Structure 1
Amino acid sequence: MNRIDADVVVCGGGPAGINAALAAGRTGAKTVLIERYGFLGGMSTAALVYPWMTFHTTGGKQVIAGIAQEIIDRLMAEHASPGHVRDTVGFVRTITPYDPEVYKVLIVDMLREAGVKVLLHSLMDEAVVEGDRIVAVRLATKSGKYEVTAKQFVDATGDADLAYLSGVPCLQGRDGDSLTQPMTMKFRMRGVDLAKVKRYMIDHPDEFYKKTPFDELEQLPLSGVLGYFKHWQEAELPINRDQVLFFTGPGPDEVLVNTTRVQGLDSTKLEDLTEGEIQGRKQVRMVADFMTRNLPGFENASISSVGAQIGVRESRRIDGQYTLQVDDVVSGRTFDDCIARSGYPIDIHDPSGKGVQAAWVQGDGAYDIPYRCLIPKGIVNLLTAGRCISTSHEALATTRLTPSCMATGQAAGTAAGMASAQGISPAEISVEQLQEHLIRDGALLSSGQSSTYSVI
């Protein structure tokens, strides 16, 4: 068996894992990032999750920065993102479009700059556990089995795969029936007349989301659309959803469609995930055909790409030292062990119905994510980041969004690097020192910090 030794191993090459590996590598820890696909980016690239939302509160204050903002700055320098722009859907204040193909290349460059070893085409399928510690993970690869040993591990798989394989207690879905938010197969269309789309919105505001900023729409670049209620209802498609949702870009005549909905399946089960992929791709063809036949502006549009895999909103999450609750989010609660903040609202795509449940953050528009949510029970040298941190089903509906995942990734990677250097467990490091380290690296952990950023 091939063997690699490291200080920190990060499993999962999505935005949370990328930021965790960058943060760990920058502490000086010998870091390995493991990813099953032949490219990095996770849901942002494999499943076409686009745009990133949101780095700001509903009032426009930036509450997520650090490595996440550094990535945006570098994408902007390569003309691969316009930066943070107004959300013309109106659900949040800002969204952040980006070119996923440039992102795939940029993040590898950044990881190499940080000294991180990247292993692609590597499926982590076994955890070697001794007592209450992970000593290694085993990978299935084209060149046989690999064993990667480390002092500290970060689970950024989205599905809590490493935690689950290590025996960490995990939760899944909502209370009562354990159903998760639906999966979505996203796809892009080109040849869209966006000027015609915007004109139709201005002329027919009753057919679109009530929070759409119609008063500003003439001046704002069109970034997203939620609605076409009448068209969708008349079509009577066998998809349990009540509207069309799409976002513009990266191309000038291109949109990303987020309208398919696959419900009642468990993405951690092989046969369910297989069925989800099949249903999702059938729905893509159905929705695209509906859009070209019925929606003003889509008469000459066609499918340009479909996700390499179906997008997963919710699967396993750890039962950690603290479980973030919906009241913590909505009340804008602060925590002494805050390691990240977010301004994204509760956004629950109904596991069995048509709609979306939403609730906005009160107070200054942001809530804290405590360090304890990253720390699982039972295994002392493991941290989590991204979608699988410890939350309730309802709170996950905000922490699962990409900028929030980037922020918890940076925190987990920094903490893992510190724990490795000090020879202690992540639970034993000084939270105050961790917070100081994160702030030095640009993270925003208090409302006072966020007030220094301009309002968009």
Structure 2
Amino acid sequence: MKTIEADVVVIGGGPAGVNAAIAAGRGGAKTVLIEKYGFIGGMSTAALVYPWMTFHTVDGKQVIRGIAEEIVNRLQAAGASPGHQIDTVGFVKTITPYHPEHYKVLAVDMLREAGVKLILHSFVDQVRMAGNLIESVQLTSKSGRMEVQGKVFVDTSGDADVAYLAGAPVLKGRDGDRQMQPMTMKFRMRGVDLDRVKQYMLQHKDEFYAKTPWSELEQLPLTGVLGFYKHWREANLPINRDQVLFFTGPEKDEVLVNTTRVQGLDGTDVEDLTEAEQLGRKQVMQVAAFMTARLPGFENASISQVGAQIGVRETRRIDGVYSLQAEDVVSGRKFEDTIARSGYPIDIHDPSGKGVTAAWVKGDGAYDIPYRCLLPQEVTNLLMGGRCISTSHEALATTRLTPSCMATGQAAGTAAAIAVRQGISPAEVDAVELRNQLRTDGAIVD
């Protein structure tokens, strides 16, 4: 079996993992990033999770920067993102469109610049332990079995795969019935007349989301649409949702549709996931046919891309040293060991019903994510980043969003590099030192 040695091993090449690996590499640690697909980006590329939302509070104050902002700036310089734009859905203040194919390339460039070794087409299926320490992860790859040894491991798999395999306590779904937020197969359509869509919106305001910024809409570039309530009701599709949601771009006649909904299945169960993929693709065909037949502006539209996999909102998360709660989010609670902030509201897609439950952050519009949420119990040299950090089911409905995942990923990678450099465990990393380093690296922690 081939063996690779590293200081920091990051598992999962989504935005959290990319930022974790870049941070660890820049921190001087010999870093390896492992990804199951043949490309980088995780849900942002494989599942077409688009746009990134949000880097700001509802009042427009930016609360996420660091490596995440550097990526946006570099995409802008390449003409692959317009940067932060006003959300014309009105759910948040800003969203950040980007071109996923450019992001795939840019992310790899930044990983190489940081000295990170990238291993694609490789799936972690076993963790070798020595007491409470992870000694290595074992991979199934195109070239057979491989082992990657490390001093500190960062689980950014989205599903807490490494934590679970290592025996750390994990949770799944909401309290009681363990039901998880539904999965969504996203798809793009081209040939959309967005001027016609906007004109229809302005003439039929009652058919769209109440928070739509109507007073500015005529002057703003259309970035997203939530509504067409009447059309959706009349179509009566067998999809348990109550509206159409899509975002514009990256091309001028293109939209990303976020409307399918697959409920009651577990994204960590291979048979459930197989069924979800099939159901999701059938729903794509139903929704696309509905949109071209009934929605103004979609008369000449057609499907241009469907996700390589279904989008997964929620599976396993760790039961960590501290679990972020809904009240922490809504009240904007401050923590002494804050390593990231977010202004995204709680946004729960009903596990069994049609609707979405939302709760906005009070105070200055941002909440803190403490370092303790990145620390699992019972496994000494493991850190978490992204969707599977320690939260309640309700709080996960905000920390799962990509910019938040980017921020916790950077924090995990930075902490991992400090732990390696000082020869200590992640739990022993001084939060003051970690926060100072994150500030130096452009992240917002206050």
Q: TM-score, normalised by structure 2?
A: 1.00
* 2:265 corresponds to: 265
Q: Aligned partners of 2:274, 2:32: CA distance in 1, in Å?
A: 29
Q: Aligned partners of 1:145, 1:2: CA distance in 2, in Å?
A: 7
Note the alpha carbon deviations across 1:266-313, whole angstroms, 9 max, x for none: 000010000000000000000000000000000000000000000000
* 2:225 corresponds to: 225
Instruction: Return the offset for 1:199.
Output: 0.2
Note the alpha carbon deviations across 1:63-93, whole angstroms, 9 max, x for none: 0000000000000000000000000000000
Alignment of 1:33-432 (within 5 A): 33-432=33-432
The amino acid across from 2:242 in the alignment is D
Instruction: Return the offset for 1:445.
Output: 1.1
The amino acid across from 2:328 in the alignment is D
Instruction: Return the offset for 1:429.
Output: 1.1
Q: Aligned partners of 1:71, 1:235: CA distance in 2, in Å?
A: 40
Instruction: Return the offset for 1:223.
Output: 0.1
Note the alpha carbon deviations across 1:426-445, whole angstroms, 9 max, x for none: 00011100000000000111
Q: Aligned partners of 1:10, 1:389: CA distance in 2, in Å?
A: 14
The amino acid across from 1:288 in the alignment is A
Q: Aligned partners of 1:222, 1:210: CA distance in 2, in Å?
A: 16
What SS does the aligned partner of 2:412 have? helix
Instruction: Return the offset for 1:49.
Output: 0.3
Match status 1:18 vs 2:18: yes
Q: Aligned partners of 2:143, 2:322: CA distance in 1, in Å?
A: 40
Aligned-CA RMSD value: 0.3
Q: Aligned partners of 1:83, 1:215: CA distance in 2, in Å?
A: 22
Q: Aligned partners of 1:310, 1:44: CA distance in 2, in Å?
A: 11
Q: Aligned partners of 1:280, 1:428: CA distance in 2, in Å?
A: 44
The amino acid across from 2:202 in the alignment is I
Q: Aligned partners of 2:105, 2:226: CA distance in 1, in Å?
A: 31
Q: Aligned partners of 1:435, 1:266: CA distance in 2, in Å?
A: 36
Q: Aligned partners of 1:106, 1:262: CA distance in 2, in Å?
A: 32
Q: Aligned partners of 2:395, 2:422: CA distance in 1, in Å?
A: 33
Note the alpha carbon deviations across 1:160-207, whole angstroms, 9 max, x for none: 000000001100000110000000000000000000000000000000
Q: Aligned partners of 2:380, 2:123: CA distance in 1, in Å?
A: 23
Please, which runs of 5 or more residues in structure 2 have no aligned partner? none
The amino acid across from 1:378 in the alignment is E
Note the alpha carbon deviations across 1:368-420, whole angstroms, 9 max, x for none: 00000000000000000000000000000000000000000000000001001
The amino acid across from 2:109 in the alignment is D
The amino acid across from 2:408 in the alignment is T
Q: Aligned partners of 2:270, 2:219: CA distance in 1, in Å?
A: 48
The amino acid across from 1:316 in the alignment is R
The amino acid across from 2:27 in the alignment is T
Note the alpha carbon deviations across 1:143-175, whole angstroms, 9 max, x for none: 111000000000000000000000011000001
* 1:453 corresponds to: none
* 1:452 corresponds to: none
What SS does the aligned partner of 2:73 have? helix
Note the alpha carbon deviations across 1:86-124, whole angstroms, 9 max, x for none: 000000000000000000000100000000000000111
What SS does the aligned partner of 2:79 have? coil
Q: TM-score, normalised by structure 1?
A: 0.98
What SS does the aligned partner of 1:376 have? coil
Instruction: Return the offset for 1:265.
Output: 0.2
Instruction: Return the offset for 1:142.
Output: 1.0
The amino acid across from 2:289 in the alignment is D
Q: Aligned partners of 1:144, 1:269: CA distance in 2, in Å?
A: 24
Q: Aligned partners of 1:128, 1:383: CA distance in 2, in Å?
A: 16
Please, which runs of 5 or more residues in structure 1 have no aligned partner? 447-456
Q: Aligned partners of 2:407, 2:117: CA distance in 1, in Å?
A: 21
| Identity across matched positions, percent | 74
Q: Aligned partners of 1:270, 1:367: CA distance in 2, in Å?
A: 35
Q: Aligned partners of 1:30, 1:445: CA distance in 2, in Å?
A: 26
Q: Aligned partners of 2:36, 2:389: CA distance in 1, in Å?
A: 20
* 1:450 corresponds to: none
What SS does the aligned partner of 1:157 have? coil
Show structure 1 runs of 4+ deviating over 2 A.
Answer: none
The amino acid across from 1:6 in the alignment is A
What SS does the aligned partner of 1:225 have? strand
* 1:5 corresponds to: 5
Q: Aligned partners of 2:254, 2:405: CA distance in 1, in Å?
A: 26
